[in-house]
């Protein structure tokens, strides 16, 4: 008998309660692997788009042109580009207004970028609580199934005058499979959660650095505009 058929046989012969536990763990494992693949693809795309935008931003071109290019696909903006779009939009709105200080412009721009970054963080962290829940609870669910299976096995032996290993072993084996399935569901979820959390934190650090550098650029430009007592057009804003 093959290992697969043995596992299937144990599942078929298990009690209803243990079967329910196994089915729950199988469902949790499928769900977690679905989210693992989805988050992995999304974060890879986020890293690539961030790298492309950083390269374009620090190429030294006209920020107004870069802003106009981003506005063409505004609904698809992600990560650092979305933060840039929000911050520069706020800057263009305020720097034309009379009697406003560079500090006030900078504070408003920072608030706009912080809000945009929080939205990006929410998008990156979707499904992570589910992975954390699967990783933390699956072993205990598996142990619960094991305990129930062993209890049912010993209850059946209560009516037998002489118990043998051959009578006890199948029931215990069925019960222990629940623990193994709990670990099978939990370990990938925990590993993926830790990996995704690390990747997200690294991206957020890059976003924070970008905000600081971009804010300094806009602050200098606002000071120049105020010192010249002019209202620069959007096209005149250059990093």
Residue whose C-alpha is closest to residue 184's, from 142, 130, 132: 142
Q: What was the pLDDT predicted at 34?
A: 95
Q: What is the DSSP letter of 97?
A: S
Q: Which helix (H) or strand (E) holds 122?
A: helix 102-124
Residues of the chain falling short of pLDDT 50: 1-5, 229-239
User: What backbone phi and psi angles, to 5 degrees, belong to 26?
Assistant: -65, -45
What integer pLDDT is reported at residue 19 of this predicted model?
82
Instruction: Tell me which residue of 157, 183, 185 sits closest to 170, measured CA to CA.
Output: 157
Query: What is the separation of C-alpha 114 from the centre of its chain, rounded to a whole number of angstroms?
Result: 18
Tell me what pLDDT residue 131 has.
Answer: 95
Instruction: Provide the terminal-to-terminal Cα distance of the chain, rounded to the nearest Å.
Output: 71
Question: What per-residue confidence (pLDDT) applies to 176?
Answer: 83
Please, what's the b/e burial string for 172-211 (b: 16 or more CB within 10 A of its CB; e: otherwise)? ebbbbbbbebbebbbebbbebbeebeebbeebeebbeebb
Closest of 208, 87, 187, 105 to residue 139, by C-alpha: 187
pTM attached to this predicted model:
0.80
Distances (CA, A) of 37 to 31, 42, 44, 120, 122: 10, 9, 11, 19, 18
């Amino acid at each position: 008998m093959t290992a697969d058929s043995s596992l299937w046989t144990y599942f078929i012969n298990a009690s209803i309660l243990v079967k329910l536990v196994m089915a729950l763990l199988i469902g949790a494992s499928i769900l977690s692997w679905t989210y693992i693949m989805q988050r992995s693809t999304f974060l890879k795309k986020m890293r690539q788009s961030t790298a492309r935008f950083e390269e374009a931003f620090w190429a030294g071109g006209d920020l107004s042109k870069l802003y106009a290019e981003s506005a063409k696909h505004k609904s698809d903006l992600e990560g650092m580009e979305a933060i840039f779009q929000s911050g520069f939009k706020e800057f263009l709105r305020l720097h034309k207004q009379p009697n406003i200080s560079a500090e006030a412009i900078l504070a408003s721009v920072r608030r706009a970028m912080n809000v945009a970054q929080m939205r990006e963080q929410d998008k990156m962290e979707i499904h992570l609580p589910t992975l954390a829940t699967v990783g933390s609870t699956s072993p205990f669910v598996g142990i619960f199934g094991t305990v129930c299976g062993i209890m049912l096995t010993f209850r059946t032996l209560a009516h037998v005058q002489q118990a043998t290993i051959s009578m006890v072993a199948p029931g215990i084996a069925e019960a222990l499979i629940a623990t193994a399935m709990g670990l099978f569901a939990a370990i990938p979820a925990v590993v993926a959660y830790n990996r995704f959390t690390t990747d997200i934190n690294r991206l957020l650090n890059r976003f924070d650095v970008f905000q600081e550098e971009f804010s300094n650029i806009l602050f200098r430009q606002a000071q120049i505009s105020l010192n010249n007592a002019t209202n620069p057009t959007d096209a005149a804003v250059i990093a």
